[in-house]
Amino acid sequence: MTVTGGTVAALVLLRADGDVPVDTSRVPAREAAERELSDPRYHQNDPNLLQRGLDRFWEWLGDLFGAASGATPGGVIGLLVVALVVIALVAALWWRLGTPTRAPGGTGDSLFADGPRTARDHRTAAARHASAGRWNEAVQERMRAVVRSLEERALLDPRPGRTADEAAAEAGRTLPSHADDLRLAARTFDDVTYGGRTADEAAYRRLEDLDTALERTRPTLDTASTGTPA
């Protein structure tokens, strides 16, 4: 008995139960597979969103590091040497220059930032901070007492927004014998207020001595330009 090719094909397509399988096209088959794979049972052990993000980040970092090491003479070791040199340079600059300071004269650099207070008020606050060992705050309050005292004695014109540097320069012209000490006091104030430096008791005592010396200076009509003590 001869069986033709068409008959053989038909027989092959027959299933064991006698049903003829349905010839499903490619697109519906893919959609059916996607629906099946979207079943939560298949994703119980998948990483969460954070873990997937971290995996992507580490892959990106690894690719970046690999590209940089390939472009650096000596490969990975050369890249590590360059990174250590850069870190050392940054640390040396930070140690040498300290925390970046703001340029004097800005509106945020006003000497008096908490409203009008008397020189006595500032001296009282300075003494309270000094007794507690808070030398930064003690230096700040004592410098404010120095400038406020000069304003109260009409040796400085009261001016809102004045900085410590400006006050020292103006007072130094009126009291030239104390000009250097006033500039040093202003620099100390700026260092602890804007430069991230830490004051000590010696710095505070210098300001205290300056405040006392200025209090004893009594310019007259003849000596107002020289600041000669009375």
Amino acid 69: pLDDT: 59
Amino acid 36: pLDDT: 67
Amino acid 168: pLDDT: 92
Amino acid 158: pLDDT: 86
Amino acid 129: pLDDT: 94
Tell which residue, 171, 155, 174, has the closest CA to residue 163.
171
Three-state SS annotation for 35-56: HHHCCHHHHCCCCCHHHHHHHH
Reported as a pLDDT band with limits 50, 70 and 90, residue 55 is confident
Please tell me the distance from the alpha carbon of residue 115 to that of residue 44, in angstroms, as a whole number.
Answer: 62
Amino acid 78: pLDDT: 63
Reported as a pLDDT band with limits 50, 70 and 90, residue 161 is confident
Amino acid 10: pLDDT: 46
Over residues 17-42, mean pLDDT: 63
Amino acid 216: pLDDT: 87
Question: Which one is predicted more confidently, 33 or 17?
Answer: 33
Question: Which one is predicted more confidently, 228 or 184?
Answer: 184
Please tell me the distance from the alpha carbon of residue 84 to that of residue 78, in angstroms, as a whole number.
Answer: 10
CA distances in angstroms from 128 to 186, 191, 204, 206, 209, listed in the order given: 21, 21, 12, 17, 17
Mean residue pLDDT across the chain? 74
